[in-house]
Amino acid sequence: MPNTPTSGSSKNLFSRPSYSESVRIGDILRKETVGGLVLIVGALLALIWANTPIRESYFALRDFHFGPTLFGVDLNLSVGHWAADALLAVFFFLTGLELKKEFVIGDLHNLKTAAVPVAAAFGGVAVPALIFVAIASLSGGGELMQGWAIPTATDIAFAVAVLAVIGSSLPTALRIFLLTLAVVDDLIAIVIIAVVFTDDLKLGYLALSLIPIILFTVLARTLGKFFATRLWAAWVILLPLGVITWIFVFGSGIHATIAGVVLGFCVPVKRTDGREGVGLAEQFEHRFRPLSSGFCIPVFAFFAAGVTVIAPDSGSGGLLSDPVFWGIVLGLVLGKPIGIMGSTWVLTKFTKASLDKDAKWGDLFGVTLLAGIGFTVSLLVSELSFGLESAHYEHAKVAILAGSFVAAILGALWLVPRNRRYKQIAARESRDDNHDGIPDVYQQDDNN
């Protein structure tokens, strides 16, 4: 996020980005919008099927087991587990690519710029977790405490999709802030999954996973142009190495999606031949994002979001009396905005950072409401926390859906009027545009 100084010693918290950065973020928003909509469709289909008279067929399909034993690793998993462990590895591979890009050439490369979304992300993780723990403690703790990490995640595809639909005229810096916040949020979630949900670590398999990882890294760095220009090469050469890595990581006891993140970090961001141009990481992101957004995430959502909420033989009493439900809902709807706004306020209060004159605190508040949309990673963490057979798991899924829906509605109600105001401002500014049709704002930023 480029800085637009307001004085010699202060920097803006939400300064206008350059024209090229705005175009890049616009492309990301358009892709995430489509992915978010398909994700919603997959979740809705699961909810409808799981609440019809033929609901048992849905659960029979989700719980159907298949898979071989490879390299001594038992892969006889349910369809739901395959979706969570294997398909989400593709999503996390793209997350790894995006994270590395942010650290190498993006907003997280500059520590001063990265400080704001990083601090906001940590606040947005800590406060929801504390709210959940407080509610669970009041109810006796014990097994309930296992779900503390569920309301900490922000769903990139879902949140950015909602913002792209309702906030097309909001300052681009706010959208970049949400995207960066969600990326850092995912990094924190990855660390939580790798550390907290690894019970029985098998060092032998973990050591074996280093062999395909090293081969993957060497090939990606030395044959970057080859993989960039030949679409088949990555599928034939790198994909088998990725699959073997996934098997060994799965066998080690670490959640297998971490393999995707590690391999994403192994792909070079810049061209390895020293020339200017798009690196292999961005090539892979453009190439594989449709697979993730159009297939992997929706299929995962389809098998993860199915929960029976209107069965004739089950009332809502057990759900509404479960502290897990309220811990998640309140964590997402209240904890996320409080944590993000609080962290950002502290940073502006005790440092020289300040809001851009066109980005008001009210705008930021609307974005923090959308950050309460936790879906993909939250569903995964809920499964890891309680297991498929736990009643808390079913309640957690309903809570994630309910909390995300409420967060989306509240964010929309808050941001739509503000978006309308910015649209009017943009219309006035467009009449004053010059410089060959490029708005003054971009000309000024490009000269900074």
Kindly report, residue by residue over 306-333, the tens digit of the pLDDT.
Answer: 888 765 444 445 778 889 999 999 999 9
Average pLDDT, the chain: 81
**Which three-class secondary structure state does DSSP give residue 426?**
helix
pLDDT value at residue 387 = 78
Query: How many CB atoms neighbour CB 211 within 10 A?
Result: 13
442 pLDDT above the threshold of 50: no
173 pLDDT above the threshold of 80: no
Residues 6+ apart with CB under 8 A from 35: 157, 161, 289, 292, 293, 294, 297
**What percentage of residues in the chain have a pLDDT greater than 70?**
82
What Cα–Cα distance (Å) separates residue 212 from each residue in 90, 177, 220, 266, 331? Answer: 17, 35, 12, 11, 39
Least confident of 126-130, 262-266, 364-368, 431-435: 431-435
**What percentage of residues in the chain have a pLDDT greater than 90?**
33
Section 278-284 average pLDDT = 86
Section 429-444 average pLDDT = 52
pLDDT value at residue 356 = 60
Question: How are the residues of the chain apportioned to helix, strand and coil, as percentages rounded to the nearest 5?
Answer: 75, 5, 25
Section 197-217 average pLDDT = 91
> Please, where are the H alpha helices in 223-279?
224-229, 231-233, 239-252, 257-266
Q: What is the CA radius of gyration of the chain?
A: 22
pLDDT band at 24 (very low <50, low <70, confident <90, very high): low
Give the whole-angstrom CA distance, residue 315 versus residue 169. 44
Give the whole-angstrom CA distance, residue 152 versus residue 148. 8
Least confident of 210-224, 249-263, 301-315: 301-315
Least confident of 220-224, 326-330, 375-379: 375-379
Section 52-61 average pLDDT = 91
- Residue 326 parent element (H or E): helix 323-330
Note the pLDDT tens digit of each residue in 226-242.
Answer: 898 888 999 999 999 99
192 pLDDT above the threshold of 60: yes
49 pLDDT above the threshold of 90: yes
Of 18 and 147, the structure prediction assigns the larger pLDDT to 147
18 pLDDT above the threshold of 70: no
Of 186 and 231, the structure prediction assigns the larger pLDDT to 231
pLDDT band at 264 (very low <50, low <70, confident <90, very high): very high
pTM here is 0.76
pLDDT value at residue 113 = 67
Contact 136, 144 (CB under 8 A): yes
Helices 257-266 and 239-252, interaxial angle, to 10°? 130
pLDDT value at residue 132 = 95
